[in-house]
Amino acid sequence: MKLTLKKNSSKLMQLPRDVLVGYGVIEDVGYVCRDLKLTGNALIVTGSTTWNIAGKKVCDGLQSTGSNAETVLTCRATMEEVEKVIERAIETEANFLLGVGSGRSIDLAKLASTRLYLPFISIPTAASHDGIASSHASIVDNGKNTSIKAKAPIAVIADTEIISAAPFNFLAAGCGDIISNYTAVLDWELASRLLNEYFGEYAAALARMAARVIIESADSIKPDNEISARLVVKALVSNGVAMSIAGSSRPASGSEHMFSHSLDRIAPKPALHGEQCGVGTIMMMYLHGGNWQEIREALQKIGSPINAEELAIEDKYIIEALLHAHKIRPERYTILGKGLTPSAAEKVARITKVIN
């Protein structure tokens, strides 16, 4: 049998070389850098809160193994902040960057290091979304939240002592982001069937497996539990690897993410990204004709929001986000097609009990 490759089926895979997940592993940051031959000047990208939680430990660890460590404090994931990080890196003659935080600092370090052609290490302080190991950065550009292609981290150091001590809603949001792989892969398959888009079986299988692990472990994911943190972090890293294998965010980002990004633009006070993706997955699974009840039950067991009330977002914004979601990434075909009608949007939200 002759195999034929679809257009663009050849993808560059960027994967972390070192991944450390465990209790107290932040103390090993200097040794990880030495193993990766990262020497000289380091720039730590972090926030004021995460500096106290983890940034100072990272700084001490780097200095103890011979690297000079400088810090830049950031406040928002915007292009202006990316430029601020780049300027600081040039000023300090940085040889590599480290993103220390729950997401914003990692995305800023990721994009800045990509533009500077420098390696960077991801050090999450919470497991709220899969950006900790992916090759995409979520950045606000001209007032709009956009996903920008970047380099994957050369290493991930996830200290489960720190992550398990973070507010539990961050971990629950991470679970929502992982579970959303189900509808993302279904959207990807649909685009492959209808538009002959490249579909990566291995990447899709890895993404589905990560989601399955979280659903099957829903009963055991608890607050202040180091084992729970370890499980979720490993699944988030798997998500990042799946996207790197695919060469795009397709295995972990579909119609449910478009709904979340639409909600970010419309709602006066959006919820956490992973929380919104979880709720979006319930509705998109219904549109796909799948087992949306299983998704809903798993999120409920974990303690992640399953409706508008728990997101603290009014019903009208859920409907409006559904109506505009297909415009977020018009080049990416999903179950939303060219958009839902108002009656269809209200129907899916009511049947899945997302709105009352």
What pLDDT, on a 0 to 100 scale, did the predictor assign at position 141?
81
- Are 100 and 210 in contact, with CB atoms under 8 Å apart? no
Nearest to 184 by CA among 276, 248, 255: 255
Summarised one tens digit per residue, pLDDT across range 80-90 is 999 999 999 99
Segment 89-111 shows an average pLDDT of 94
Segment 321-327 shows an average pLDDT of 97
What pLDDT, on a 0 to 100 scale, did the predictor assign at position 211?
98
What pLDDT, on a 0 to 100 scale, did the predictor assign at position 81?
94
What pLDDT, on a 0 to 100 scale, did the predictor assign at position 135?
86
Is domain 18-165 given the CATH code 3.40.50.11540 in the classification?
no
What pLDDT, on a 0 to 100 scale, did the predictor assign at position 147?
81
What pLDDT, on a 0 to 100 scale, did the predictor assign at position 205?
98
Matching CATH number, 169-351, of 3.40.190.10, 3.40.50.300, 3.40.50.10540, 1.20.1090.10: 1.20.1090.10
Q: Report pTM.
A: 0.91
Summarised one tens digit per residue, pLDDT across range 143-191 is 777 788 899 999 999 999 999 999 999 999 999 999 999 999 999 999 9
Instruction: Report the 10 Å Cβ neighbour count for 152.
Output: 23
What pLDDT, on a 0 to 100 scale, did the predictor assign at position 139?
87
Segment 62-82 shows an average pLDDT of 90
Segment 233-249 shows an average pLDDT of 93
What pLDDT, on a 0 to 100 scale, did the predictor assign at position 313?
98
Summarised one tens digit per residue, pLDDT across range 136-153 is 888 888 777 778 889 999
pLDDT at 345 over 60: yes
Instruction: Report the 10 Å Cβ neighbour count for 61.
Output: 20
Phi, psi of 143 (to 5 degrees): 80, 0
Q: Mean pLDDT across the chain, nearest whole number?
A: 93
As a whole number of angstroms, the distance between CA 106 and CA 27 comes to 19
pLDDT at 4 over 70: no
Between 92 and 137, the more confident residue is 92
Summarised one tens digit per residue, pLDDT across range 188-230 is 999 999 999 999 999 999 999 999 999 999 999 999 999 999 9
What pLDDT, on a 0 to 100 scale, did the predictor assign at position 8?
47
- Residue ranges of domains in the chain: 18-165, 169-351
Distances (CA, A) of 307 to 3, 17, 84, 296: 46, 39, 38, 9
What pLDDT, on a 0 to 100 scale, did the predictor assign at position 11?
59
Instruction: Report the 10 Å Cβ neighbour count for 23.
Output: 14
As a whole number of angstroms, the distance between CA 73 and CA 346 comes to 43
Cross-strand bridge partners of residue 69: 42
DSSP one-letter code for 125? S
Segment 281-294 shows an average pLDDT of 98
The pLDDT > 90 percentage for the chain reads 85
Summarised one tens digit per residue, pLDDT across range 23-38 is 999 999 999 999 999 9
CA 203 from chain center: how many Å?
Answer: 16
Tell me if domain 18-165 and domain 169-351 are identical in fold. Answer: no
What pLDDT, on a 0 to 100 scale, did the predictor assign at position 1?
41
The pLDDT > 70 percentage for the chain reads 97
